[in-house]
């Protein structure tokens, strides 16, 4: 009996282990046939770390290769949240919060995620990085990333723009040229040890392709001069806004462009759209008397008027339809030269009446108004010019003197450049070259003529008259000691919300070039709602004077080539 019981127990144990062995064999067989790929992939993930390799964003430089936007290497903190033990997570949050100045709620949301990779803080300061490394917390790691830095802060902020946390362009050149600047990301698979610590051994790698460098037409020195003088006037005249553009009249290259108010490119995250927007391209305003250059150019080109033709200016009051047109000072008989020099509204309108609406409209379009200039910056608008069939009975008394039209500062400076360069409308641009990191040329941007507006002879005649505006007329505060200058003042009433002209809000402007006989630069200065002084000859002309004076001396001292080779017929005519 005892032996029988013993044998049954032995058999039970034997069959138990036999069945267990068969179960294990079956399980191994199942794993080998049906789960091997899954488990191999899991093992691979545990021992491999896939990382995207960031390309170095291309730099932005001025025409003298002075850096305007560069990159510096920074540490970015990430967490392998699955590696941090649940009991340790709260302590980790409490240690990181004061170092990173992040809220407990934000860190808790990140640390408690069931993920093997989650960003905690991007591009942190070196001292923060060192403090966190000294904590020796399992599950935290660093990756090297680049941070966009703008060495000059406020300088040319609306031109350059800025890139976001992921180095994607968001404004200005950074945005419009992002496809050239950003480069192409690479990737690498790194090996990890049993504790999931990254080893500096990569299994596979495709290196990133760095972005291209952008060379601008902007000159850092000229940009500084322009911003310095604009800022003085903006503050002095309590203006709502202000713009200055300095352009090479022969090529269309923008040498400086600035707006007020402005912002620091390194502190852009909390800046309002009002400070970011490029007023020179996207602010619409009536130009006032600056627009008289279009009427004068059309009258000369069509041979309807000469400089010596005399116009009776009605002693300051002239009725056109139901409207009474006034001059700022009553005038009797004036030659057409004096009409422009003294900025007579009545004399200009009488010349426009000789031309007729259709002819005047044709030259308005030829000068580039009512269309985008094509500048390689974002946000440009086309302005507002109505066709003659939409004009009212009094439009012929308004349009020739810069009313019932909407323009931008970039349109004004390109129009004035037509007179300065001998009659050609140039396409303005701010990017001159694109190069790779080895200095090899990728793309070159050359001057482009949009169309011929007037003959070189007409342009030369207007240059003399506009020089008289500065010497003897409304632009006397634009006189430059040692150099001649030419230009036109503008003072325009702004429209109130009810559609009537304001008696307290004005736009004062001055657009000109210097030296008058052989221009090196064209400059537009626009002051929005200056007070108490608001005349363009008072608030804008002095800015032109100070900028032109310093810029011309700088250009001559550096022997910069401003004027390219021109056609023989243009040389002869001028």
Q: What local confidence, expressed as pLDDT, does residue 200 receive?
A: 52
Among 76, 157, 177, 289, the one annotated catalytic: 289
pLDDT of residue 567: 39
Q: Which of 489, 564, 567 is nearest to 533 (CA)?
A: 489
Its pTM surpasses 0.95: no
Backbone phi and psi for residue 198, each to the nearest 5 degrees, phi listed first: -70, 130
* pLDDT recorded at residue 246: 98
CA 521/CA 254 separation, integer angstroms: 10
Domains with residue ranges and CATH for the chain:
70-208 (3.90.1310.10), 220-263+277-573 (3.40.710.10)
pLDDT tens digits along 191-222: 555 555 554 545 566 788 889 999 999 999 99
Mind listing the pLDDT tens digit for each residue in 492-546? 989 888 878 888 899 999 999 999 999 999 999 999 999 999 999 999 999 999 9
Q: Give the pLDDT of residue 193.
A: 54
Does residue 240 have a cis bond before it (omega within 30 degrees)? Answer: no
Q: Output the pLDDT for position 574.
A: 35
Looking only at the bridges linking them, the beta strands covering 213-216 and 60-61 are parallel
CB neighbourhood size of 223 (10 A): 24
Helices (H), 472-539: 536-539
Is position 373 annotated as part of the catalytic site?
no
- E strands along 15-64, which residues? 48-53, 60-61
pLDDT of residue 459: 96
Residues of the chain with pLDDT under 50: 199, 201, 565-574
pLDDT at 321: 81
């Amino acid at each position: 009996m005892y032996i029988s019981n013993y044998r049954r127990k032995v058999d039970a144990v034997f069959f138990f282990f036999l069945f267990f062995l068969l179960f294990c064999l079956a399980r191994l067989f199942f794993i080998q046939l049906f789960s091997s790929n899954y488990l191999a992939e899991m093992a691979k993930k545990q021992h491999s770390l896939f990382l995207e390799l960031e390309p170095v964003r291309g730099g932005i430089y001025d025409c003298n290769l002075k850096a305007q936007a560069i990159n510096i290497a920074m540490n970015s903190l990430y967490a392998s949240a699955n590696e941090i033990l649940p009991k340790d997570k709260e302590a980790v949050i409490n240690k990181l919060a004061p170092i990173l100045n992040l809220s407990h709620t934000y860190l808790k949301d990140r640390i408690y995620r069931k993920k093997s990779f989650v960003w905690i803080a991007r591009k942190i300061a070196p001292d923060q990085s060192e403090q966190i490394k000294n904590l020796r917390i399992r599950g935290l790691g660093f990756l090297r990333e680049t941070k966009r830095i703008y060495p000059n802060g406020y300088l040319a902020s609306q031109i350059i723009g800025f890139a976001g946390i992921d180095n994607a362009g968001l404004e200005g050149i950074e945005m419009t040229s992002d496809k050239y600047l950003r480069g192409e990301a690479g990737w690498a698979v790194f090996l990890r040890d049993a504790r999931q610590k990254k080893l500096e051994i990569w299994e596979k790698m495709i290196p990133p392709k760095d972005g291209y460098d952008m060379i601008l037409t902007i000159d850092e020195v000229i940009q500084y001069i322009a911003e310095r003088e604009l800022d003085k006037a903006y503050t002095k005249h309590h203006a709502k806004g202000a713009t200055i553009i300095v352009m090479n009249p022969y090529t269309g290259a923008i040498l400086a462009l600035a707006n007020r108010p402005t912002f620091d490119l390194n502190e852009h995250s909390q800046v309002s759209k009002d400070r970011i927007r490029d007023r020179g391209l996207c602010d619409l305003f009536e130009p006032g008397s600056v627009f008289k250059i279009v009427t004068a150019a059309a009258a000369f080109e069509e041979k309807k008027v000469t400089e010596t033709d005399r116009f009776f200016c009605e002693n300051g009051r002239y009725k056109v339809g139901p409207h009474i047109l006034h001059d700022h000072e009553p005038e009797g008989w004036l030659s057409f030269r004096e009409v422009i020099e003294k900025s007579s509204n009545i004399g200009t309108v009488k010349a426009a009446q000789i031309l007729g609406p259709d002819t005047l409209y044709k030259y308005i379009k030829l000068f580039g108004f009512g269309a985008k200039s094509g500048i390689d910056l974002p946000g440009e608008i086309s302005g507002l010019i109505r066709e003659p069939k939409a004009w009212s009975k009094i439009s012929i008394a308004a349009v020739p003197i810069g009313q019932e039209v909407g323009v931008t500062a970039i349109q004004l400076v390109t129009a004035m450049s037509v007179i300065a360069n001998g009659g050609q409308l140039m396409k303005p641009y701010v990017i001159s070259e694109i190069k790779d990191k080895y200095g090899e040329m990728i793309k070159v941007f050359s001057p482009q003529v949009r169309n011929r507006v007037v003959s070189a002879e007409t342009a030369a005649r207007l240059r003399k008259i506009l020089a008289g505006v500065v010497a003897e007329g409304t632009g006397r505060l634009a006189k430059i000691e040692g150099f001649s200058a030419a230009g036109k003042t503008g003072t325009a009433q702004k429209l109130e919300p009810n559609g009537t002209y304001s008696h307290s809000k004005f736009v004062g402007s001055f657009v000109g070039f210097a030296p008058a006989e052989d221009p090196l630069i064209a400059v537009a200065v626009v002051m929005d709602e200056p007070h108490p002084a608001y005349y363009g000859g008072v608030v804008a002309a002095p800015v032109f004077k100070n900028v032109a004076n310093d810029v011309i001396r700088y250009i001559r001292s550096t022997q910069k080539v401003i004027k390219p080779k021109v056609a023989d017929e243009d040389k002869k005519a001028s």
